[in-house]
Structure 1
Amino acid sequence: MTPPSSPPWSRRTFLAATGGTALAVGLTEPGAAAATTRTQASAAAQADDEFAVLRAKWRTLILGEGFSPTAEPFRTKLATLGTQAAGFQATMAPAAGSLWPGISYADPSPDTDQESYGYSARMNDSFTRLNTMAQAYAQPGTGLTGDAALKDAVLAGLDHLYSDVYNENRARFGNWWNFQIGSAQALMDTAVLLYDHLSAEQTAAYCRAVDKFLPDSAVAQYTGTSTGANRVDLCRGIILRGVVGGSAAKIQLGRDALSPVFPYVTTGDGFYADGSFIQHTDVPYIGGYGAVLHDGLGRLFALLRDSTWQVNDPGSQLFLDTVEKAITPFIYNGLMMDNVSSRGISRGLTVSDPFQLPQDDHTRAHSVMASVLLVGQGASPEEQARWKAMVKGWLQRDYYGPALKNPKLSLVNTARLQTLFDDDTVKASPEPTEHRVFSNMDRATHRRRDWGASVSMASKRIAHYEFGNGEHARGYHTGSGWLSWWGDDHGLEQYSDTFWPTVDPYRLPGITVSKKPLPDGFGGNWGNPKPDTTWVGGTTDGEFGVTGQHLRGVDSTMTAKKSWFWLDDSIVCLGAGITSADGTAVETVIDNRNLGASGTARLSLNGIPQPGTQGWQATRAHTKWAHIAGHAGYVFPESGGSRVSALREERTGAWRDINTGSSPTSFTRRYLTLWQDHGTDPQDASYAYILMPGASELRTAARAIDPLWLQILANTPKQSGIRVPSLGFTGINFWEAGTVGKVTANAPVSVQIHEKRDGTATISVADPSRTVTGLTLTWKRPVKSVLSKAPSITDVQTGSSLTITFGDLSGSYGTTHRVKVRTA
């Protein structure tokens, strides 16, 4: 389609500006007929005005506001945008099957899925490039602002893609996402930016194309690819098509189709009541699809607010609640924890990255932080104040990858964060002190003011890892009890500094693993391997926590019972029943610290400094404690200590090794690894250690020689439990019914008892396996009275001991049930 010349005032702009007066002037019918006609004309003009308002609002959401184009970092970002757009303009060469040389979207072999996917992705890339050019035209300070030649190039490119590949007469090929979401969004965003330069014919044609590939039927059922984040993206495309095409029906359809996203789910994709977020049926994805969903809903809420189509669904408050229930527990000092980003952690340095910076846990958090502020515009004043203080704290404390210095962060998000950073009326809030269990995605987080940690597990419900589209090829053991942690002034670079392409994938911190070799992408595309185990989860009183995992290895006979007890300054880690028949060694990785390209860290074992040379390896029996300077202390509380191995090594890898779409450039990083070797085909092996993030050598040594601090009550395949008297803490994982210390349970549950100095105690119980239809729990401790109890509790007997009777817990999705009592 050849673009006709565009008059300075398009027909729609003229009618909107005149309010429809030109229509009414020529009408001479008297009485009611004339009044009706005038009313209709006024209504049409008013509707067109509202579409214009929505276009202006979306334009602002694309381009940003409240920043000076001559101030940093905006001046550099705008100049970079201009340079990128100029490069696209200079190399654009419309031809059959492509808009740029080397980016062919012609699909010669529709029966070859992988090839078709690549072609559809290149079509989407072409639309994205045109959108970049349109932004450079619309933004100030790009060097191409208002440039007629650039504008004409964008219009010519849109028409070429329409006539060549993306029109109502073509069939979809390759990946559905590129047609229904990626290209539809980029096309409609570009149409908004250049709306006044499009003819009515062009606008209608582009809308027909979107209608073809993104029909109303795409949101007719909440199933398949139309759930969670994908559903929000589909609704965005439909709503923007309505805004561009002046269709109230489309906007209403897209708005109403958001409603299924708001209620919490109990299976499959979406947000759960405990804050879990799942996409692709069994993959924790708050840092990926969850972030996309939040950004998408935040933008749509902002777009439609105060309009005829404002989102007024009562369930929308459930979405607002996910900010604090689901998003913020996984952001620590400005980074998004990798264990909820799935394949995203393998997306590092790309082949043609203009900034030569890999995506990492910090950069993934930055856009989420901005979306929290955007969503907050529709929240209560109290919520908005908390969220601003929280985001400002992250901005101030991120010393490794500050958001405002991220050249990849969009200008609009940078502007939103910069405005908050400069607002002296907002005081930053510190990291919270809390423990959270996400039983519906096999994750737990533990937060303290000066450190944070999280564990990643797998079960019959949750995949060990996800491989697809050539991404995340060696993530197979990320669900095997991977324990990640960070300090407030150290460790933020652990997973950011080229960790994933260089780390030994069999030695992730915290995992128990068979060294049986696995092929890249084990399980195949979207295979999402899951172990046949159900006892995975834990309990908490909100301050401390108990977590357990019945682990089965990936494509392995290896099994283990792993437990974590989360305390004020440490995590006690126990493992038992470690058994395997793979014919290979089995290890438990105590820690594996990324020291960077040339870093060193002093290691001492029992206070004796160890060599700092690369390639050094040693095994020390009777190790009571270890310390890595600038990182953490490790205490081995078993009588006589433990047999601990240590290794310093340099490892080299490229992002392409784990993601076929990434750069082949190689990197080398140094690692210091501590582990326990359980031998080949172990039978009922075990381990015990205390991780003390940020602890000094002196404090680590003091903990190691204090025999009264920790009591290991049990560490067997039937039960694992500890008591820390100074904290009033008792934690037990009953893999089977039995008695541990003063606690008896007649069913497999996770139990935590926290006694306070005020004479109260909170008993927290969960059913991780979701099989317990009745439970009697006895604590041999004098108790005066019951202060509060969960509805699931049918009876409580106090006196010389406490006996609690629970009803059916199997349908409570692993949640925690609490009883608060006053002790005698």
Structure 2
Amino acid sequence: MTALSVPTATAQPARPTPRADADRLLANTVAIVAGTPESNARQEVAGKLALITDTARARLAGLDAAGDGELFAGVPLGTDDANLNRSFQYLYEIALATRAPGSALLDDEAVQDRVLDGLRWLHERYYGDQSAGYYGNWFHWEIGISASVTRTLVLLAGRTGDLTTTYVASMDAYLRNGKDGDVDLDSRFHTGANLADITTNRVLQGALLGEDARITKALADQRTVFATIDPYHLQHGVTDGYYADGSFIQHHSVAYTGSYGKGLLTRVVQTIKILDGTAHAGGGDLVEVVRGWVVNGFAPLIFEGWMMEVVKGRAVSRTTTGYTDVAVVLEAIVDLADHVPDAAALKGYVKHLRESSAAPLDPTGFVSPGSIQRYADIMADPSVPAGDLNPPARTVAFNAMDRTVHRRPGYAFALARSSDRISRYEYMNGENLVPWFSGDGAHHLYLSGQDQTAAHGVDFLTTVSPYRLPGTTVPVEERSTIPELYGRFWYENPGHPLGFTSSSESQNTYVYFPRATNTHSGGVTLGAYGAASMVLADDVPFVDKAAGILPDDFVAYRNARATKSWFLLDDEIVVLAAGIHDPDGRAVVTTVDSRIAAPADRVVLGGAVPGTSRPRWLRYANETEGTAVGYVFPDRPRVTVELAPVTRSRRVVRAANPDTAVTKNVFTVTVAGAGELAYLLVPGATEAALLAYARGPVRVLANDRRVQAITHTGLGLVAANTFADGWAHTGRLSVHGPASVITRRLPDRRVAVAVSDPTMGRDEITVLLRGQRLRPLAVDEGVEVRRVPGGTQVRARTRQAHGASFTATLGI
């Protein structure tokens, strides 16, 4: 993906006048949110239309029942910014029904007058006074309220009188993280999905006012979100957005494809639709950028219709499911397919998502009635075969956001890492209360054919101990949540030199999404195989607290230590850990896996029973779900197996969740103690297959703090991660590291080699294949191959490659 500007419109016989453009923008927006006579006459849209009407009637009843200090009953105003935001949203939902063809409230001027009266009342009492406003969450004032107000004004354009100019002036004034009532591209608040939201609002405001300059400026600002982030040449210091490897970051350092990323995708596709038929409409290169986001950024992270947890930030603690997340992405893909020249693959993916998902998709949840119509047309088109955008076997190193995804028929493995670039977790506003180790090599293993809500999602986080997340190595201690520590959802200390307030930069750095301090976190891919590694370290809050930078009453926790590798193959994931210990001498526990099952499910264990033993292998099978996972322990460490019911409230992980008690049978496999550890995860394994691992084909070549390496004889593959400066040797492979390397024997005596820099700070990496005199057959740019005494040298120029893999194919 390359940086680009908003494309100019295709040449037309006569350029539309700005007013004609503005009218078209408004008409397009109304058609998107309210539908058209054609779309709303479709039977498939009937449910959406009924929802729009029923919601409006419920909001009108709330207007009728409102008490003092309320516009809507049960939504008191004056001190709660979320309630003010909600009140504006409710007015929009009423206005929407008056513009939706087929609604019983269509063109009901009496109802529209009630909306307009509500807007006047809110402005006079709770919004127009700039000195009294802007309390609570900045998002409500700069984005949420503005979105509802702007769309309401669009729906009622022609009947708003002076309300439009009054509200636009106030919305400009509330853009306080901007500059002079406009977007500030240097503001840390005006980036990524947030910037797309703000600029879309301003495009519509420009159309309402007939100000072409406002529209043009807003689109110029929005175009920056289409540009691929170059971490070595940041624009306006912004790290939020899409990267060349498909990663998406929001909040400066949080892996966020599954929440803010999907919001950005939705918003920019809506912008494409809003601009359709105007002089501001973009060309094909813009939609091709967005298509690239779908293929390379979203598709790898969606497994059988479920959005993976490792890219959801604090949203992981919400009760909405991964299926709901994907429905949002699906609507954007449906609409995008209407704008690309060759939409067959996108339309096929829409069918694939529907057919592979364990949860039925209800398009009533789509924003646009028109999207429901287009979705129904795709599903009914016999010329469009269902097809995944992912090949059956795929490994993706999202190194820019410290994530790795490994996919095979039957399962998907998602790994969350962290570093001095990427946050260990995100906590905010009482969401994701116990996140401490979720970026320390925690994994999710998704098994095919099951309802993922039964194995993952909020109930997994609720019932699995935060100290027993799969793949983590943690010290034995009890930690406290932010509300428990400070009595509120943030740390407050405005008098300190760092100025801790709820939305301060210091709050972000030390409370909301702290980074780790290790530089080593990355991985390499060779075809559909991969290797990943990281070094556990303390996070920024602990280091700065120890240095005396933070206040005395600020609480920071120390991490355990370990050097870790994951080798991603066909039937197995091999995990190595070395140097496991705690700097303070605390006990340390490594969790091999944790899984949940419904209390009534039949769960059968093989190879070991609950308790502590030294098994060679272990098998967990949920016979009710028809799923199984095997675990192989080459060195037979002392393993503790637990299987017991756990009941907790969903509020354990998010303060705003309903106080719903969840009971699950929780299965946990742990290994206590320091030193080294090796194990294999074998999705879908039978007992016979697990027994066979005693004879191979996987063998650990090295497992210490300097080098971790394995070989798979059946694949002809050797993979190694090296962690120390200088040369490391394993078998017939020598690596000048730190580096991640995979080599594989191919037919016709060819050898494939892939290398990457997991530190993202090296200029070059050199690999020596000892005893093999080979010549280059195909090499990536930046790769040099030489025959040297004793073997073949492969050198990759990794400077400013940001963890990318470099490959070479060699032959005799």
Counterpart of 2:650 in structure 1 is: 655
Residue identity matched to 1:624: W
Residue identity matched to 2:354: L
Counterpart of 1:244 in structure 2 is: 208
Correspondence list, 1:12-91, <5 A = 46-64=17-35, 67=39, 71=43, 74-91=45-62
> How far apart, in 2, do the equivalents of 1:305 and 1:140 lie?
21
- Check whether the contact 2:766–2:795 (CA below 8 A) recurs between aligned residues: yes
> How far apart, in 2, do the equivalents of 1:593 and 1:284 lie?
23
Is 1:390 the equivalent of 2:349? yes
> How far apart, in 1, do the equivalents of 2:266 and 2:800 lie?
32
Q: 1:218-253: CA deviations, max 9, x gaps?
A: 324343111111111111010010122222122111
Q: 1:704-744: CA deviations, max 9, x gaps?
A: 34x23111101111111000011111110011231011111
Q: 1:48 to 1:274 in 2, by over 3 A?
A: same
Counterpart of 1:232 in structure 2 is: 196
Residue identity matched to 2:528: E
- Check whether the contact 1:587–1:675 (CA below 8 A) recurs between aligned residues: yes
> How far apart, in 2, do the equivalents of 1:435 and 1:257 lie?
34
Residue identity matched to 2:218: G
Is 1:189 the equivalent of 2:177? no
Counterpart of 2:529 in structure 1 is: 544
Deviation at 1:815, TM superposition (A): 1.3
SS at match of 2:336: helix
Larger radius of gyration: 1
Deviation at 1:259, TM superposition (A): 2.3
SS at match of 1:537: strand
> How far apart, in 2, do the equivalents of 1:277 and 1:46 lie?
37
> How far apart, in 2, do the equivalents of 1:44 and 1:438 lie?
43
Residue identity matched to 2:668: T
Correspondence list, 1:281-300, <5 A = 281-300=252-271
> How far apart, in 2, do the equivalents of 1:491 and 1:781 lie?
50
Q: 1:285 to 1:68 in 2, by over 3 A?
A: same
Counterpart of 1:723 in structure 2 is: 711
- Check whether the contact 2:406–2:412 (CA below 8 A) recurs between aligned residues: yes
Deviation at 1:414, TM superposition (A): 4.4
Counterpart of 2:141 in structure 1 is: 179
- Check whether the contact 1:782–1:798 (CA below 8 A) recurs between aligned residues: no
Deviation at 1:405, TM superposition (A): 6.9
User: TM-score by structure 1 length?
Assistant: 0.84
Counterpart of 1:302 in structure 2 is: 273
SS at match of 2:415: strand
Counterpart of 2:447 in structure 1 is: 487
- Check whether the contact 2:126–2:133 (CA below 8 A) recurs between aligned residues: no
Q: 1:373 to 1:75 in 2, by over 3 A?
A: closer
Deviation at 1:58, TM superposition (A): 0.8
The percent of aligned pairs where both chains have the same amino acid is: 26
Number of residues of Structure 1 aligned to a counterpart in Structure 2: 737
Moved more, 406-415 or 513-522: 406-415
Residue identity matched to 1:452: A
SS at match of 2:127: coil
Residue identity matched to 2:32: L
Correspondence list, 1:213-362, <5 A = 213-214=174-175, 217-267=181-231, 268-311=239-282, 317-348=288-319, 359-362=320-323
> How far apart, in 2, do the equivalents of 1:496 and 1:419 lie?
31
> How far apart, in 2, do the equivalents of 1:301 and 1:464 lie?
35
> How far apart, in 2, do the equivalents of 1:435 and 1:227 lie?
29
> How far apart, in 1, do the equivalents of 2:97 and 2:590 lie?
52
Is 1:404 the equivalent of 2:362? yes
Deviation at 1:104, TM superposition (A): 3.1
> How far apart, in 2, do the equivalents of 1:644 and 1:505 lie?
19
Counterpart of 1:775 in structure 2 is: 765
> How far apart, in 2, do the equivalents of 1:803 and 1:187 lie?
63
Is 1:529 the equivalent of 2:503? no
Counterpart of 2:627 in structure 1 is: 631
SS at match of 1:435: strand
Structure with more contact order per residue of length (Cα contacts < 8 Å, sep ≥ 6) = 2
Is 1:202 the equivalent of 2:198? no
> How far apart, in 1, do the equivalents of 2:162 and 2:749 lie?
77
Extract unaligned runs of 5+ from structure 2: 1-13, 232-238, 492-506, 540-556
> How far apart, in 1, do the equivalents of 2:658 and 2:85 lie?
20
Residue identity matched to 1:669: K
Q: 1:120 to 1:714 in 2, by over 3 A?
A: same
- Check whether the contact 1:79–1:143 (CA below 8 A) recurs between aligned residues: no
Is 1:103 the equivalent of 2:72? no
Choose the corresponding residue for 1:675, options 656, 662, 670: 670
Q: 1:478 to 1:560 in 2, by over 3 A?
A: same
Counterpart of 1:568 in structure 2 is: 570
- Check whether the contact 2:719–2:742 (CA below 8 A) recurs between aligned residues: yes
Choose the corresponding residue for 2:611, options 611, 618, 625: 618
> How far apart, in 2, do the equivalents of 1:582 and 1:402 lie?
50
Counterpart of 2:398 in structure 1 is: 438
Extract unaligned runs of 5+ from structure 1: 1-42, 108-118, 349-358, 611-616
> How far apart, in 1, do the equivalents of 2:182 and 2:476 lie?
45
- Check whether the contact 1:514–1:582 (CA below 8 A) recurs between aligned residues: no
- Check whether the contact 1:210–1:241 (CA below 8 A) recurs between aligned residues: no
Choose the corresponding residue for 1:801, options 769, 787, 791: 791
> How far apart, in 1, do the equivalents of 2:34 and 2:792 lie?
62
SS at match of 2:143: helix
Deviation at 1:205, TM superposition (A): 2.6
Deviation at 1:138, TM superposition (A): 2.9
User: TM-score by structure 2 length?
Assistant: 0.85
